[in-house]
Chain A
């Protein structure tokens, strides 16, 4: 038993729903009690889908438990077939139905439906949503794909996109365009956007592009073994990874990896002088392993940030995650407890968080800006505009998305120049974030500095308080030094504070004076 206040991943049958809802012509009969239909709203509300997920819930109640829940399942499956006439059906149990052991697969087989019926075995008390999606897609492939002759021209399948995926809709479109530039057309993109009939002709592609290992890797491996289709290992997130991806595809196909890059803007946007201020900004990354590992590379090598912490919630990918973190001299944080993530972020004191919607909320609480890079998603992760993460346009989108929460370059310059004047001070906040600027009364500067700190609303204030509290034997700040610290622009204050304290500790200074502050500054000057 584990106390959970919030969870990054839903149960595995929600993963199966993500597969079914992304597809057409497939129906999911789910043995489940009343209430499990809540999952419909994830799709209709968060993703704004205009159709109900193709799921029939058997809706058993307590009074059915002594009786015949098996017949309830059979009736539901028969009626679902009669009403929806799917090309294929997947059947399975949610967590409660797993306990009553009705065997939906066997029951569905017994009634002899006139379409392929694919049983799912998703252990609800061991696994989670990503596993459910991955395994469901894998089982659908096993049931429907047969080896067959290759298409005449070079084609590939794109694997892993599901309903409710982070930017899956636009990533598939962008990667399709990218492959088109190399002269490759897409045979089937699945599961999202495909029907069982499409799945059955996946065998004619020359190779597979695996976009989302979390939800497509088992199918990719199975297709490699069964249909002799190699699959790509590089996920084209970021400029470098996209180019590596093109080379990997070139190696598989013998085509040229050189494509038109004229629409790619990230490298120049990053090199232009307004971006100088991004140099060495400390970022903390958390999300699914694939997005975090790719984002770390973009952050470190394409934008020039310093990665100060990274981790993922999906334990299945702990090994590659740990290896990636090691390359940045970090210990990966593998956890699905968001309070642990919050503690790690507070301790690392980053200037930017790249995370999930949960980290965005953590950022709000700690007063640290955040951009969202990964599932789990919320309604704002389904923008009306075209907004891929992958390929060259994806790199452009990522630049904008990550930079937006930060103070703009010129603005930061002004804040530094006029630091602690009555308009440009830490409580004024970045002007484009909607927070109301708090004009200070210049006649009483000192009193107000303290009052502002107590408000807890200022950037890093809470974090500093948190970071201060648990450390015993930490050097003490003299009042004058603390005032001086507050004159440092808020976006570097956390760093200055941390550096000064570690300098003081190393130097055996118990009380930090203004002197210590500037000695530390000189010590760390680069």
Chain B
């Protein structure tokens, strides 16, 4: 795959900004992966039954005996007087922490109702930190739908941790964004082979491993939705390394090379280390190229991964993005990806779902990437869809997952081909007097 930029990228493309009904999760959803990542953390949403219902519906959480997240459900009496709400909160937290002595970090997560009634969770977090120090550190951030969409919840969470990180003058690399452990290990191993270190992760698996930050810290983002975290780290003096995101062979190589250059690694050494995994990634992606090449793709806004993923599909899989919708466009963070994404697609920010469905229907893309609420209705109208949420919950970053990432997009197309294959219908199932569907 060529590393050359296209003649014109999408950085200057005018953005179609829309507002209206949004078919996107709120930021609370991030708790689903954040609580798996931070193994000594508990996420306590202060909200309504709707918040609790969202979390269990989005996650199918019945599998956990006692999950490390829950909702303090506001009741009528909490809405009557705020002083009472604070007392109630303190009591619920005390009860929770005595029941779960394994918890070292507690996140009070604001919701739409807690924000509308102006329950001050920042102050509550300070109060509770004092109460439960040194055993438990209490943070707060908002995952509310009136403030955040879906992956913005992780951004709000990490940004809330940054001011409390220890200070350091050490020259260290900080990799920012929650990755599945298996991917994180691959990332660390590649950086180690390149001779880059020490490397710190935010978030860390356990609170004892939280990174320190200072003027000599450089940080690279592995998720494109971390705008506030970027600002918070910059405020602590850290320097951002802009790069395309590590999706696919090309994205991973460019991301690693941006880091390698910062740490003075030679191109020769870089190529030695990355040659084998690059070849593996290219080979794995190529296995799906036949299915994806020349097909068009339409992104509904979901996780903010849309821009880098469109870049991956366009440049490594030969697909043609028709519209790339994203809840927010952080031009400063996804700029390198926008430069590489060949011009052509509509870039849209925000959503009016009815109008976007009209556009999607008119565009008749070969593949539509959308949320779970839209997928079956679109399939029933004859479209082929990929659930966007799987792109967030599945390990897709770095070289060894490049093939898996391509497979997520090719599988719906292969499936559609299998189920509609005309040869099978006529030759296998159609007996005398039978319709093609095998109905008597």
Instruction: Give A contacts to B, CB under 8 Å.
Output: 1-7, 9-11, 13-14, 33-42, 44-45, 48-52, 56-62, 64-65, 76, 79, 83, 94-96, 99-100, 123-126, 128, 339, 357-358, 361, 365, 378
Contacts of B95 in A (CB 8 A): 3
**Assembly CA distance A41 to B57 (angstroms):** 8
CB pair A37–B24 under 8 Å, yes or no, is: yes
Contacts of B61 in A (CB 8 A): 6
Contacts of A99 in B (CB 8 A): 79, 113, 116-117
Contacts of B92 in A (CB 8 A): 1-3
Query: Which secondary structure dominates where chain B touches chain A?
Result: helix
**Assembly CA distance A360 to B334 (angstroms):** 44
- A14, A62, A126 — most chain B CB neighbours (10 Å): A62
CB pair B22–A59 under 8 Å, yes or no, is: yes
B50's partner among A11, A45, A57 (CB-CB below 8 A) is A11
Nearest CB of chain A from residue B87's CB, rounded to whole Å: 9
Q: Which residue of B lies closest to A7 (CB)?
A: B52
Seed contacts A35-B145, A59-B19; 13 additional CB < 8 Å A-B pairs: A1-B75, A1-B78, A3-B96, A11-B50, A34-B22, A34-B24, A35-B144, A37-B25, A38-B25, A39-B53, A42-B57, A50-B379, A125-B48
**Assembly CA distance A62 to B144 (angstroms):** 9
Contacts of B75 in A (CB 8 A): 1-2, 125-126
- A3-B70, A37-B21, A99-B113 known; A62 and B49 CB under 8 Å? no
Instruction: Give B contacts to A, CB under 8 Å.
Output: 19-29, 44, 46, 48-50, 52-54, 56-58, 60-63, 65-67, 69-76, 78-79, 85, 88-89, 91-92, 95-96, 112-113, 115-117, 144-147, 149, 354, 371-377, 379-380
Contacts of B354 in A (CB 8 A): 79, 83
Nearest CB of chain B from residue A411's CB, rounded to whole Å: 29
CB pair B376–A48 under 8 Å, yes or no, is: yes
CB pair A358–B62 under 8 Å, yes or no, is: yes
Contacts of B57 in A (CB 8 A): 10, 38-39, 41-42
CB pair A96–B113 under 8 Å, yes or no, is: yes
Q: Which residue of B lies closest to A64 (CB)?
A: B146
**Assembly CA distance A451 to B104 (angstroms):** 34
CB pair B49–A44 under 8 Å, yes or no, is: no
CB pair B112–A50 under 8 Å, yes or no, is: no
CB pair A95–B50 under 8 Å, yes or no, is: yes
A37's partner among B62, B78, B373, B376 (CB-CB below 8 A) is B373
Nearest CB of chain B from residue A418's CB, rounded to whole Å: 34
**Assembly CA distance A240 to B377 (angstroms):** 41
- A49-B376, A65-B116, A95-B113 known; A6 and B52 CB under 8 Å? yes
**Assembly CA distance A48 to B52 (angstroms):** 22
Q: Which 10 A-B pairs have the closest CB atoms?
A: A35-B26, A35-B145, A40-B373, A50-B380, A1-B88, A96-B112, A41-B372, A95-B48, A33-B145, A10-B53
**Assembly CA distance A16 to B371 (angstroms):** 22
**Assembly CA distance A350 to B85 (angstroms):** 40
**Assembly CA distance A284 to B291 (angstroms):** 51
Q: Which residue of A lies closest to B115 (CB)?
A: A62
A44's partner among B60, B65, B115, B375 (CB-CB below 8 A) is B375
Contacts of A57 in B (CB 8 A): 21-22
- A42-B57, A56-B21, A96-B146 known; A1 and B73 CB under 8 Å? yes
CB pair B48–A5 under 8 Å, yes or no, is: no
Nearest CB of chain B from residue A305's CB, rounded to whole Å: 25
CB pair A34–B373 under 8 Å, yes or no, is: no
Q: Which residue of B lies closest to A34 (CB)?
A: B145
CB pair A44–B112 under 8 Å, yes or no, is: no
Nearest CB of chain B from residue A126's CB, rounded to whole Å: 6
CB pair B50–A94 under 8 Å, yes or no, is: yes
Contacts of A40 in B (CB 8 A): 23, 372-374
Contacts of B96 in A (CB 8 A): 3
Contacts of A65 in B (CB 8 A): 116, 146
Nearest CB of chain A from residue B349's CB, rounded to whole Å: 14
5 contacts between A and B (CB under 8 A): A35-B145, A76-B21, A95-B113, A99-B79, A126-B76
Q: Which residue of B lies closest to A342 (CB)?
A: B65
- A35-B28, A42-B57 known; A124 and B49 CB under 8 Å? yes
